[in-house]
């Protein structure tokens, strides 16, 4: 089963970035843990700070992979283009957020991804990614 985690802007800074919100672990370390825990899955990971690169990746995998776990980070709240890409593909997308975006500023309550996502997992820290993964199993 081919599943990809796609992370948006500033998530390359996990571990260093606002640890009181996002924790102390780097995503690379967390991803290694996930791969060890689910060795039978073909898990891959892509991160970009660039909106168009995220759209290109969604299009590239979006007709062949079994699942996409997408944390579009700040673009969640602004990007019609990423929302349209999620709508255009056939691979189911689970929208994920590390923090509880509804407990934060009002601009984080809006998502252009949610209407086209298969499901949404928000606010469980890095564990949100594993919960999304389990939903595909």
Give catalytic status of residue 22 as yes or no: yes
| Cβ closest to ligand DQA, residue 1 vs residue 68 | 68
Torsion angles phi and psi, residue 91, rounded to 5: -65, 130
**135: Cα separation from own chain's centroid:** 14
Give the total of residues touching ligand DQA (CB under 6 A): 10
- Quote the least distance from Cβ 63 to ligand DQA, whole Å: 25
**Per-residue string for binding with ligand DQA, 68-107, x by CB under 6 A?**
---x-xx-x--------------------xxx-x------
| Cβ closest to ligand DQA, residue 47 vs residue 76 | 76
Closest CA to 71 of 15, 137, 126: 126
d(CA 77, CA 41): 30
**60: Cα separation from own chain's centroid:** 16
d(CA 33, CA 56): 27
Residues designated catalytic: 22, 97
Q: Would you tell me which residues interact with ligand DQA (CB under 6 A)?
A: 10, 71, 73-74, 76, 97-99, 101, 108
């Amino acid at each position: 089963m081919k599943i990809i985690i796609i992370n948006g802007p500033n998530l390359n800074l996990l571990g260093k970035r606002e640890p009181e919100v996002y924790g102390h672990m780097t995503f690379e370390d967390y991803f290694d843990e996930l791969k060890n825990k689910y060795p039978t899955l073909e898990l891959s990971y892509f991160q970009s700070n660039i909106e168009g690169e995220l759209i290109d990746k969604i299009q590239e995998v979006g007709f062949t992979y079994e699942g996409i776990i997408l944390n579009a980070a700040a673009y969640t709240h602004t990007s019609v283009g990423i929302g349209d890409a999620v709508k255009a593909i056939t691979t189911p997308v689970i929208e994920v957020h590390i923090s509880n975006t509804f407990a934060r500023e009002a601009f984080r309550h809006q998502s252009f991804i949610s209407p086209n996502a298969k499901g949404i997992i928000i606010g469980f820290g890095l564990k949100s990614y594993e919960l999304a993964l389990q939903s595909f199993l």
